[in-house]
Amino acid sequence: MNYKLVSTLLGFLWLLATSNQLCADAYYRPSDQGSESLYTPLSSFLSYSFDTLQLPDNFNTSAFRQNARDVFENLRHPRSAIDSEGGFNRFVNRQIVPVDSQYSNESYAALPNYALHLLGGGIAYRRDLEYFRASDADYPTASTASLAMTAEVLQEILEKGTTTNDDEVADVYLFRPLGIFLFQQDAVADYVMNTLDPAIWPYLQAFDFSQDRIINSGLSYAYRPPITEFGNTRLFVFTGLNNLLGLSHRLSGLDSLSWGIGLATQRIDFTLDRQAELETSFGLFYDRDKSLLWSLVINDTGGTQLRANIFPGVFKNLPHTGFFLSEDEQQRWSAGVSYRLPIGIGVSSD
């Protein structure tokens, strides 16, 4: 095992946990405009759970029962799940840190565990926790943790078709609980807010009655580290199933225009040892105080050639209404509308 790498990671986590630098900004930021105007813990739960449905060629609800049985079986017998994928060293090498040079190509699978399940999941947890605290809810920590872990298990079920047996063991038993534990600590939450300035940007997911499926799903995390600020410009990092790197330009007031270029996951190819098929992507985003007002992405996830989302507040005469429009690689169009609720209604062409 690479003990030096493990000790470095533990040292970083200890630094986060002992940081005493506090910030005034909160993760829960009530707003009557943009993506935050539609936020509730329920909307966050659905966005996180349905995130992998961005890849319709790989993830859907058609085999939900069988996938659920497989996931719960692996969670009930984690040792058997790990052994079926090559044993403990392969598990650590694939899911946590590189420890086996013979299977170094598998170690890339650990990156989403840290970026999405630990960091992203921790950020989502903290926002829900602050919401429940602000609402004077009973048992806010227990409620938030229960909601987070349920969303994690549901996501594992939906993505089971392309994951190894030990994937849910790592995500459910290690990375999501670690993210919850870290972001339960005020010092950690403040440190991440000060150093990364994170925001959660969802799409306007909807139920397509014409095809009985969820469309336009997706949840991404945007980071604009203050240390990179030069004038009115900062580094812009956009992560999820689409990963972009670019710049964010602060405009008048609290408005910002951000753009990035990167790689979007199109599908998982089973013939290439579960390797992801990627395509160059470009995204343009306009937000107001971290609440996303509109976005335009070219070559987005799941074979989407064009995706536009317009959130409440852009059209003044429709204060609670959002819209989306997308086109896939077969020139099929999808469109939908969302009004106040965490999920809207949509329609797709054949």
Backbone angles phi and psi of 243, in degrees to 5: -120, 120
Return d(Cα 213, Cα 308) in angstroms, integer: 19
8 A C-beta contact, residue 133 and residue 140: yes
Both 89 and 134 in one domain: the answer is: yes
Q: Looking at the predicted structure, is the pLDDT value of residue 285 above 70?
A: yes
Domain contains 10: no
In degrees, rounded to 5, the angle at the alpha carbon of residue 260 between the alpha carbons of residues 267 and 124 is 70
Last residue of a domain, one of 156, 184, 212: 184
Residues 79 and 121 in one domain: yes
The confidence score (pLDDT) of residue 273 equals 58
Could you write out the three-class secondary structure of 183-208?
A: HHCHHHHHHHHHHHCEEEEECCCEEE
Q: Produce one character per residue of 165-177: b if its CB has 16 or more CB atoms within 10 Å, e if not.
A: bbbbbbbbeebbb
Same domain, 76 and 144: yes
Other beta carbons less than 10 A from residue 18's beta carbon: 11
Written as six digits, the tokens of 68 are 């659920």
* 304 occurs within a structural domain: yes
pTM of the model: 0.89
Structural domain range at position 169: 63-184
Last residue of a domain, one of 158, 184, 210: 184
In a domain, 36, yes or no: no
Same domain, 212 and 309: yes
Statement to judge: residues 160 and 253 lie in one domain: no
Query: Within 10 Å of residue 238's Cβ, how many Cβ atoms?
Result: 27
Q: Are residues 178 and 202 in the same domain?
A: no
- Pairwise CA distance, residues 1 & 3, whole Å: 6
Enumerate the β-bridge partners of residue 334: 326, 348
Token pair for 262 = 């990167």
Q: Does 172 share its domain with 201? A: no
Report the C-alpha gap between 247 and 244 in whole angstroms. 10
| Sequence-ordered list of residues with C-beta below 8 angstroms from that of 145, at least 6 positions apart, any chain | 125, 180
What is the pLDDT at residue 9?
47
Same domain for 70 and 103: yes
| Residues 302 and 251 both lie in one domain | yes
Question: 345: part of which helix (H) or strand (E)?
Answer: strand 344-348
**Residues 242 and 51 sit within 8 Å (Cβ to Cβ):** no
The token pair that represents 86 in the structure block: 């090559």
Q: Are residues 159 and 220 in the same domain?
A: no
Residue 224 lies inside a defined structural domain of this protein: yes
The alpha carbon torsion through 186, 189, 193, 194 (nearest 10 deg) reads: 50
The four Cα atoms 34, 262, 214, 330 give a dihedral, to 10 degrees, of 120
Residues 99 and 132 placed together within one structural domain of the fold: yes
- Give the separation between CA 39 and CA 328, rounded to whole angstroms: 27
Q: What is the mean pLDDT of the chain?
A: 90
pLDDT band at 5 (very low <50, low <70, confident <90, very high): very low
Q: How confident is the model at residue 22 (pLDDT cuts 50, 70, 90)?
A: very low
Short-list 136, 118, 148, CA closest to 48: 148
CA distance 260 to 102: 35
Same domain, 213 and 255: yes
Of the two residues 152 and 319, the one the predictor is more confident about is: 152
What confidence tens digit (pLDDT) does each residue in 258-279 have? Answer: 999 999 999 877 554 567 789 9
**Over residues 245-249, mean pLDDT:** 98
DSSP assignment of 72-87 equals: HHHHH-HHHHHHHTT-
Give the total number of structural domains in the chain. 2
| Rounded CA separation 40/215 (Å) | 20
Give the pLDDT score at 270: 57
